Amino acid sequence: MPKKDIPVLFKHHNFSFSFVSNSMAIATTIANRAPKVSVLLCFSIYFALLSFSCSRVLGQSSPVFACDVKSNPSLASLGFCDTSLGIDSRVGDLVKRLTLQEKIGFLVNKAGSVSRLGIPQYEWWSEALHGVSYVGPGTRFSNVVPGATSFPQVILTAATFNTSLFEAIGRVVSTEARAMYNVGLAGLTYWSPNINIFRDPRWGRGQETPGEDPLLSSKYGAGYVRGLQQRDGDPNGLKVAACCKHYTAYDVDNWKGTDRYHFNAVVTKQDLDDTFQPPFKSCVIDGNVASVMCSYNKVNGKPTCADPDLLAGVIRGEWKLNGYIVSDCDSVDVFYNSQHYTKTPEEAAAKAILAGLDLNCGSFLGQHTEAAVKGGLVDEAAIDKAISNNFATLMRLGFFDGDPSKQLYGNLGPKDVCTKENQELARETARQGIVLLKNSPGSLPLSPTAIKSLAVIGPNANVTKTMIGNYEGTPCKYTTPLQGLTASVATTYQPGCSNVACSTAQVDDAKKIAASADATVLIMGADQSIEAESRDRIDLNLPGQQTLLVTEVAKASKGPVILVIMSGGGFDISFAKTDDKITSILWIGYPGEAGGAALADVIFGYYNPSGRLPMTWYPQAYVDKVPMTNMNMRPDPATGYPGRTYRFYTGETVYSFGDGLSYSNIKHHLAQAPKLVSVPLEEGHVCRSTRCKSLDIAEQHCQNLGFDIHLRVKNMGSISGSHTVFLFTTPPSIHNSPRKHLLGFEKVFLTGQTETLVKFKVDVCKDLSVVDELGTRKVALGQHVLHVGSLKHSMNVRV
C-alpha cells in the first residue's frame, strides 16, 4: 500500500480529533521522510502515539535530563556532571567512560540511555519551522499544553522583509519550546529553519523557505536562528539548538518521476557558491547555528551526507561550525539502498562518519557502525569525534547540568505558551507579509461602514489547517478568512468548489451572492494536496476550475472584486491581472493561525499592506519549456534556456521579486552616493599595469573599503504604514554576473506625509563582488548601477 494512503485509512477510525490529527501527521511525515519505513510500522507508530497521547492527558511529566544528582548523589563525582569545568573537558570525560556499543547508541536521533552514568534516552528530532511542531517524535501536545503559537508559513514571513521580526519570532518559538520541555512535552533540538533557495516555482517545499534570494534567505536564516538559540548572559550557551537545512542544492522533491532519493543535482561551482551556499554560510558564521542537516540528493554525483568536501571541508573546516551535522531522515540508508553509492552497509556507515556526519536521523548507523569499526573501515576515534559534537551541543543546552527547574529557563511552563502577546505577533507577522499585487482606484481598502454586504467565495475562504502549511503544530486557535471578514461586516458565503482541486465549480451559487453584494472577496489558491513535501507541481495554473469560478464571479459582481491567493508558490494569474472586473489581488501565503484576522485588517484598511514578493511569479510558458531538474541558474542563449530567479531570468514575469503595493505613494530621493570607488592596490600588483576586469578579494585591499548610501524616503499619502526600501545593484557584465542582485533592504515606518533618511553601508568586497566561473569571489571593476525603486545611480569601481 502506498504511504500516501495511510491518512485515508485512519479517517475511518472514530477517535478524538486532536489526538488523531497529531498522531496521523507524525506517522505520515515519518513515512514521507523515512522512505524505508514500512506501512505496518507507520500504523504501529500511529497507534502507539495515539495511546501514548491518551495516557498523558491526566497530567504532565518531567523533562528529560542527565546528571540528576538529587536522585543519584554519586553522579556528582563524575567530571561530565561538573558544571565548573569547561565543555571540552566535560565531553572528554563522558566519552572516555563509554563502551563502543554505548557510543554507537549516541549516533542516532533516538539516542541510547546509559543508566549506570545517569544518562536517559534523548530524542533529537523535533521541528519548529514556524512554531513548535508535532512533526518529529521529540514533541507532542496534550491537555497540559494543547497548542502553541502557529506563525505564518516561512514564505509569508520572508515577505515582511523585516529582519527584527525574524528574530522576534525565533525568541517566541524558543520560549514556548522551553516551556513545553519543562513539562516533558518537547525536546531541546529543533531541525529548523529550511533555508534552501526557492529556485523553481513548482517545488512543493518552497513554502517552507524564505524565497529565491540568497541575501534574504541568509538574513532570515541567521535572524531566526539567533532568536531560537541566544541564551541570556551566556554567549556559548543555547536556549534551544536550531538546525539549518537541507544542505545543499536541494529543491526537487518529486517531479515527473524524479524524486529526491535518486536525484543528482548537477551544479556548477559558480552557481553553488553564488546561489546555493550563501544562506548556509550565513547561518553558520552569522547565526552561529548549532547544526546543519545534509540532504537526500546527490550533488555532482556524491550524496551530500557522504561528501567530505561539503561536510568536513566546508561546514566544519571553512565555516567553523560550532555544533553537529545531522542527516536528513534515513539519508544514509538512502545512499546505500536507493543510490547504491556503496557496496555494503558497513561501507556506507563508514563513509558518512568519515565525511563528517555526527548524527543519523534513522537507525542505519546504529545497526552498521560496529561492524564497520570491526571491519577496519572506520576507527573508534572517528566515532568519538562525532558523539563529542553531539554531547557538546547538549552540554550547551544545559542537558547535563541537572534539574532544569533550577536553571535559567526553569520557570517557564504552560502559562508561557499561546500568550496574548505571542498570538498578536502571529497576527502582526501575517499583516506585514500580505502582498497587495493589484489595486484599481476605488477598490481597496474597503470601508467597513459603507459595505453593508460582502460576498465571500472560494475553497480557501473558511479553511483552518490550510492556513498553517506544513511542519505545523496544533495552533492556539484559528481565525479563518470568513471569520475575520465577518467580524467587520455582514457576509454571505459560498465555497464555490468542494476543495482546492475544484474539479467542478458551483459557479451559479457563487454568482448569485456576488451579484447582490456590495463587494466580493474570492479566496482561492492551494493547500498541501497541491504543493507539499514529496509533491511538486506540474504547472502554474490555478487548480481545476478555479479560474472559471473567479472569472464568472467577477463578471457577475456589482462592486469591487478582490482576489486573494492563499499558497506557498506563485501562480500564473495573468488572466486576473488583466481583467478590469478584478479590481484587487492579494497574496497571503499560508498566513498562520491568525491569517483571517490579518487579511481583514488589510482589506478594511486597519493595516496598510507592506509585504513584498520574496519570489518571482512566472507564466505557465516558463515551466512548459524549463525542466525542474535543470539546476543552472544562468541563462543560456544558445539553447534558449531563460535562467532562474530575478537575478538571472531573462523572460516575462507575471509578478517580479520585490513587487508589492501599499495604500500610500512612496517617493525615494538619493541623498548621498559616490560616483567613483577606488580600490587600493599594493605596489607591483598586476592590475596596476594590466587592465583587469576583476580583482581577487584580498585582505590588504578590502579592509575598511566601503561607503554609505543615504536615501530620503517620503510617504506622499495620508495613510501611515511600513515600507521596504530595496537597494539593488547591476554589476558589470563579467563572469556571467547577475542581471541585478539585492545588496540590502530596510523596513521603515512612515506616518502620512512624513519623510525619513535610510542609510545603507556598502562593503565593496562583499557587496560589489561577483563569483567567477571557478567559484571564486572577485571585486567587479567597472560600472555598477544602483537601483532604488525607479531611481538608478551609476558608479565606477576602479583601481
pLDDT in tens, 172-182: 999 999 999 99
**Within 13 Å, how many C-alpha atoms sit on residue 120's CB side?**
17
Indicate if the pLDDT at residue 47 is higher than 80: no
Neighbours of 769 (CB within 10 A): 23
Q: What confidence category does residue 57 fall into, taking pLDDT thresholds of 50, 70 and 90?
A: very low
The answer to which of 6-15, 224-233, 681-690 has the lowest mean pLDDT is 6-15
Given a cut of 90, whether residue 36 has pLDDT beyond it is no
Total Cβ atoms within 10 A of residue 703: 10
With a cut of 80, say whether residue 749 has pLDDT above it.
yes
pLDDT value for 60? 65
Express as a percent the part of the chain with pLDDT over 90: 90
What mean pLDDT is predicted for residues 689-715?
Answer: 92
- Averaged over 314-337, what is the pLDDT? 98
* Predicted pLDDT at 27: 54
Catalytic residue among 213, 274, 307, 328: 328
Question: pLDDT band at residue 32, thresholds of 50, 70 and 90?
Answer: low
Pick from 576, 340, 565: which is nearest to 435 by CA?
A: 565
In our burial notation (b when 16+ CB lie closer than 10 A, e otherwise), range 8-28 reads eebeeeeeeebbbbbbbbbbb
Tally of CB atoms within 10 A around 206: 29
Give the model's confidence band at 23: pLDDT under 50 very low, under 70 low, under 90 confident, else very high.
low
d(C-alpha 427, C-alpha 601), whole Å = 10
Distance CA 400, CA 178 (A): 16
- pTM, full prediction: 0.94
Using pLDDT thresholds of 50, 70 and 90, give the confidence band for residue 46.
very low
Q: Give mean pLDDT, residues 451-478.
A: 98
Q: How much is the average pLDDT of 303-319?
A: 98
**pLDDT for 55 beyond 50:** no
> pLDDT by residue (tens digit) across 222-240?
999 999 999 998 999 999 9
What is the distance between the alpha carbons of residues 650 and 51, in angstroms, rounded to a whole number? Answer: 55
281-285 mean pLDDT: 98
The pLDDT score that the predictor gives to residue 19 is 43
What is the distance in angstroms between the CA of the first residue and the CA of the last residue of the chain?
Answer: 66
Which of 59-91 are b and which e, b meaning 16 or more Cβ less than 10 Å from the residue's Cβ? ebeebbbbbbbeeeeebeebebbbeeeebeebb
Per-residue pLDDT band for 684 (boundaries 50, 70, 90) equals confident
Give residue-wise pLDDT tens across range 126-171. 999 999 999 999 999 999 999 999 999 999 999 999 999 999 999 9
Burial of 637-651, coded b for 16+ CB within 10 Å and e otherwise, reads eeeebbbbbbbbbee
pLDDT tens per residue across span 210-226: 999 999 999 999 999 99
Mean pLDDT of 486-514: 98
Cis peptide before 248 (omega within 30 of 0): yes
**Average pLDDT of the residues in 656-684:** 96
CB neighbour class for 460 (10 Å; exposed up to 12, middle 13-18, buried from 19): buried
Judged against a pLDDT cut of 90, whether residue 30 lies above it is answered with: no
Residue 59, all three cell numbers: 497530567
Residue 397 CA, distance from chain mean position: 23
List, for residues 589-601, the tens digit of each pLDDT value.
999 999 999 999 9
**446 has pLDDT over 60:** yes
Mean pLDDT confidence for 185-191: 98
Q: What is the mean pLDDT of residues 118-124?
A: 98
Is 273 designated active site? Answer: no
Residue 418 clears pLDDT 80, i.e. is over it: yes
- Give the residues across from 724 on adjacent strands: 747
pLDDT(548) > 50: yes
Cell matching residue 706: 566601503
Q: Which three cell numbers stand for residue 145?
A: 499544553
DSSP strand pairing (491-494 vs 454-457): parallel
Q: Is the pLDDT of residue 395 over 50?
A: yes
Q: What pLDDT sits at residue 168?
A: 98
Instruction: Report residue 29's pLDDT band, with 50, 70 and 90 as the boundaries.
Output: low
pLDDT in tens, 59-108: 568 999 999 999 999 999 999 999 999 999 999 999 999 999 999 999 99
Closest CA to 260 of 36, 530, 535, 41: 535
pLDDT band at 699 (very low <50, low <70, confident <90, very high): confident
| Residue 650: pLDDT over 80 | yes
406 burial (CB, 10 Å; 0-12 / 13-18 / 19+) is: exposed
567 HSE (CA, 13 A, CB side): 31
